[in-house]
Amino acid sequence: MKIFFVTLGCKVNQYESEAMRKLFEAAGYTAAEEISAADVVVVNTCTVTAVSSQKSRQMIRRAANVNRNCILVVVGCYAQSEPQVVSAIDGVDVIIGTKDRTRIVELVEAAFAKRGEKIFRVGNVDDIRDFEELPHTPHRTRAFLKIEDGCDNRCAYCIIPNVRGRVRSRSLESIRAECVELKSAGYKEIVLTGIHIGAYGRDLRGVSLVDAVQTVLDAADPLRLRLGSIESAELTDELIDLLKRDSRLCNHVHLPLQSGSDEILRAMRRPYTTKNFSELTARLIAEVPEISIGTDLIVGFPGETDELFAETLNFIREQPFSKIHVFPFSARHGTLAATLPNQIAPQVKKSRAVSAVELSRAKSENFSSRLIGRTVEIIAETSTDGIVDGLTKNYVRVYVPDVGIKLGEVVRVKIERLHADGVFGKISCA
C-alpha cells in the first residue's frame, strides 16, 4: 500500500504529518511519488486564516479529482473547525480533527473495509488534557521537535485555541527520549515547535520552557537549537541568559508583534504594550550578538484607522526586525474580532499589506547585507537546479553553487551579494 501526504500550515503540522507517516510505515505502507499513485492520500489542513481554509478545501478537492480510487483522509485544524464542510466534499473518506491522529492507520483500515462509508472522528478538543504522543522521524535536514500543543490565550482574532484546545506540554522524559534518537541520527539542527511554546510547562509541576530547552541541549547536544515563535512576554530572563551563555542556542527569535499601535494591541487582547516590546528588542540587540528578530504583523484589524496604521508602520520602522510576516486581518468565525464593528475594507487591507511587505523587504535586505564580504556557516538544506541553500544561525538564507555538497553538512560560504530572500556566495575553504 502506498501513501501520500499533503501538508498545509505551520511547523507543528509538518511535525504531525511526519509522525503520522511513521505510523503508516510501521504498518507496512510505503511512500507514493505523487497523489495519483497513492492508495491513501492524507491532507493535513490549516485554518489560521480564511485563505488557509480555502487552500485546504482546494487541496482536498484536487486530491479527490486526481485520484478517485484512493482512501482520502482529511485531518488537522481545518477538519476540526469545519468538519461538516469537509465531510460534504465528494471523495472524502475519513475526517479526523486535531485529536486521534494516533488512530489514523486503524481508521484508514476501517475505511478500506467499509468502502463508500465515511469515517468521522472529530471530537471536542476542550477536554483534552494530555499531550498526544506520536512516534516521529524527521524527513528534513532540520529536525522539528514538538514539545507542546494548544493555547489558553484568547487573542481576539485567533481561531487556534478553538481547534487545538488547552495547553498540553510534553513530558521532559518524552522530549529526552526523542532527543536521544535525533542525536544518534546525527541531526545538527533542532527546531522547538508548538502552538504556544512560551506556555510550556504550565500544566506540569515546576517545569518551564527553559527546562525543555536545557533538556534538549543536554540530551541531543545539537550544533544548533532554534526556538520557534515565542510571545515577547514569555521570553524570560532565564531564557535570555541561556541565549547569551550557550552558543548552541541560535541567535534568532521570532516575537509576534501583530500591531505597533497600543490601541489595536488592546483590542486584539495582546498582553503587552509597544513600550514593553521595544524594551525587550533593545535588550536583545544589546545583549545577544547579531541576533535576528522576526515578527508577525496583522494589518487591517477592525478599528485600525489610517492614523493607527501609520503608528504601526512608524513603530516597525524603528524596530530591529530582520523579517516581518504580514497577514491581512482575516475574520474567523467564533472569534471576538469577527464580531467587532469597524471592519476594514478588503482593498484597504490589501494596500496596507503591500506597504508592510515593502518595509519588511527593506529590513530583510538591510539585515542580510551586513553579511556581504563575510564568511558564514550554513547547514546545507536543499539542492535545486545546481544551487544549494541553507540557513545561518541567525536565520539568513544563503545560496551557494552545488559543488557536490552533501545535504545536512556544515558548509562555510563567503557572501558576495543579496539574492532572492537572502544572500548568495561561494564555498570558502578558509
155 vs 172, which CB is nearer to ligand SF4?
Answer: 155
135 vs 256, which CB is nearer to ligand SF4?
Answer: 256
> What are the grid coordinates assigned to 120, written together?
468521522
Three-class secondary structure of residue 216 per DSSP: helix
**In whole angstroms, how close is the CB of 196 to ligand SF4 at the nearest point?**
5
**In whole angstroms, how close is the CB of 301 to ligand SF4 at the nearest point?**
12
63 vs 255, which CB is nearer to ligand SF4?
Answer: 255
24 vs 329, which CB is nearer to ligand SF4?
Answer: 329
155 vs 220, which CB is nearer to ligand SF4?
Answer: 155
**In whole angstroms, how close is the CB of 161 to ligand SF4 at the nearest point?**
5
**Helices 274-287 & 306-318, crossing angle to 10 degrees?**
20
Answer yes or no: are the C-beta atoms of 381 and 414 closer than 8 Å. Answer: no
**In whole angstroms, how close is the CB of 56 to ligand SF4 at the nearest point?**
18
Three-class secondary structure of residue 393 per DSSP: coil
Closest CA to 353 of 9, 14, 49: 49
Three-class secondary structure of residue 40 per DSSP: strand
**In whole angstroms, how close is the CB of 122 to ligand SF4 at the nearest point?**
20
Count of beta carbons in the 10 Å neighbourhood of residue 345: 9
Closest CA to 375 of 413, 340, 348: 413
**In whole angstroms, how close is the CB of 335 to ligand SF4 at the nearest point?**
9
158 vs 380, which CB is nearer to ligand SF4?
Answer: 158
**Region for residue 363 given its phi and psi (left: phi exceeds 0; alpha: psi -120 to 50; beta: otherwise):** alpha
How long, in residues, is the chain? 430
As to burial, measured by CB atoms within 10 angstroms (0-12 exposed, 13-18 middle, 19+ buried), residue 404 is exposed
**In whole angstroms, how close is the CB of 412 to ligand SF4 at the nearest point?**
37
**In whole angstroms, how close is the CB of 191 to ligand SF4 at the nearest point?**
17
Amino acid at 361: R
**In whole angstroms, how close is the CB of 52 to ligand SF4 at the nearest point?**
13
Of the CA atoms within 13 Å of residue 281, those in its CB half-sphere come to 21
167 vs 219, which CB is nearer to ligand SF4?
Answer: 167
- Give the Cα separation of 33 and 41 in Å (integer): 11
- How many Å separate Cα 100 from the centre of its chain? 21
Closest CA to 69 of 31, 101, 40, 49: 40
List interacting residues with ligand SF4 (CB under 6 A): 151, 153, 155, 158, 160-161, 195-196
70 vs 158, which CB is nearer to ligand SF4?
Answer: 158
DSSP letter (8 states) at residue 405 = P
296 vs 365, which CB is nearer to ligand SF4?
Answer: 296
